[in-house]
Structure 1
Amino acid sequence: MKKINFLFIALIIGLGFTSCMKDNDIEPYDPDKYFTLEAPILRNYVDTAEGLEGAILDETGIWYKIVEPGLVDPEDDDFYEYNFNSNNQLESPRITVNYEGRLVSNSLVFDDGEEATFSLGTLLGGWLVAFLPENMKDRNGDIVLDQNGDPAKYGLTELGLQKGAIIRIVLPSPYGYQSQAQGDVPANSPLDFYIEVLEVQPPSPY
């Protein structure tokens, strides 16, 4: 299975696959191992969980279901175009969402929020992939290409998530907290998020 460009993801959201090493005796984090181990678990979950009928398996290993598409007209005043800035770095928009996160292992709700505002670049890798459009243009307006000369893959959908969109994403653990336990989330936990997008706005100038 082809996965998203991990070099790009590591650079912009700090997945840090080797950051889990605490000394020379500990093996570096291996995301491919968990993609393989978790693939049948995620498929079974999607097949049996309520509300995931018709979910799509993306080449990244993320399952997703678009419940509502949100804005589709780039001429709409609230439409957000995901951009690279003048330094050719990906801009991190401010997103306002209602959301709920569950553990795939037992459906425990481990986090939720209403009208919560975040900088997209500070969130889990799976959120970034969900929000970004599938292909992007650089600061010169040219489609970003991968090393093979094909359009580089960034996100799940053509336009990226826009105001009014509702999505459900089921993430392999490499797109979640990886090997780090976080509160009620054990290490190497696949996650299920329901996300309702209330706003997507340009980065704060401050």
Structure 2
Amino acid sequence: MTKIKYLLLFICMAGCLAACKKDLVEDTHDPVAQFTTDTNAIRAFVTKNNLVTKKDEEFGLFYQIITPGTGNIEYKATTLVTCNYTGRLLDGTQFETNNGAKFTMGGIIAGWQIGLPLIQKGGKIRLIIPSYYAYGNVKNGPVPANSVLDFTIEITDLQ
């Protein structure tokens, strides 16, 4: 009887692993191709909307410093940021707005980790973030997978 239980357990585990492997094999997401698609979409968006932006050459993030702010805080993973922000998709759909949001730098999307250190307290920045530095190929609430995100962020406090 024990042998039968182990045999059934083995068959169940093999079936689970085979199902997982099937999901992995069928995943055809290509982050390099998606990054190229995102960059082209951002360039078209910037041109269409007559935005004056800079591109971070290391990461490919587009940004516009509206107000640099004042201070000399050196950002670390533990830096506490208080800010007001609005997040939109490139089609203009607003998916989130928050006033007085508080978070540590280590707990936010990579696009914010790259862009926020460009300003200080009282500063305001617009970040246009390729999906790779946002939520990637995963849907996150109202944000579809592979979405370029457009944030306007004003830092009200840094600690």
Q: What is the TM-score with the length of structure 1 in the denominator?
A: 0.61
How far is the alpha carbon of 1:24 from its aligned partner? 3.6
Q: Residue 192 of structure 1 aligns with which residue? A: 150
Quote the sequence identity (%): 36
1:51-62 equivalences in 2 (<5 Å): 53-59=51-57, 60-62=59-61
Distance 1:178 1:190 in 2: 9
How far is the alpha carbon of 1:71 from its aligned partner? 1.0
How far is the alpha carbon of 1:28 from its aligned partner? 7.3
Matching of residue 125 in structure 1 with residue 118 in structure 2: no
1:56-205 equivalences in 2 (<5 Å): 56-59=54-57, 60-72=59-71, 79-83=72-76, 91-104=77-90, 106-132=91-117, 160-201=118-159
Moved over 3 A (4+): 21-24, 26-30
How far is the alpha carbon of 1:119 from its aligned partner? 1.3
How far is the alpha carbon of 1:168 from its aligned partner? 0.2
Q: Which has the larger radius of gyration?
A: 2
Distance 2:144 2:32 in 1: 19
Which 5+ residue runs of structure 1 have no aligned equivalent? Answer: 1-20, 73-78, 84-90, 133-159, 202-206
Which 5+ residue runs of structure 2 have no aligned equivalent? Answer: 1-20
CA-atom RMSD in angstroms: 2.0
Counterpart residue identity of residue 70, structure 1? G
Counterpart residue identity of residue 31, structure 1? P
Structure number with the higher helix fraction is 2
Counterpart residue identity of residue 103, structure 1? L
Relative distance call for 1:97 and 1:22 in structure 2 (3 A) is farther
How far is the alpha carbon of 1:25 from its aligned partner? 1.5
Distance 1:29 1:120 in 2: 28
1:5-16 equivalences in 2 (<5 Å): none
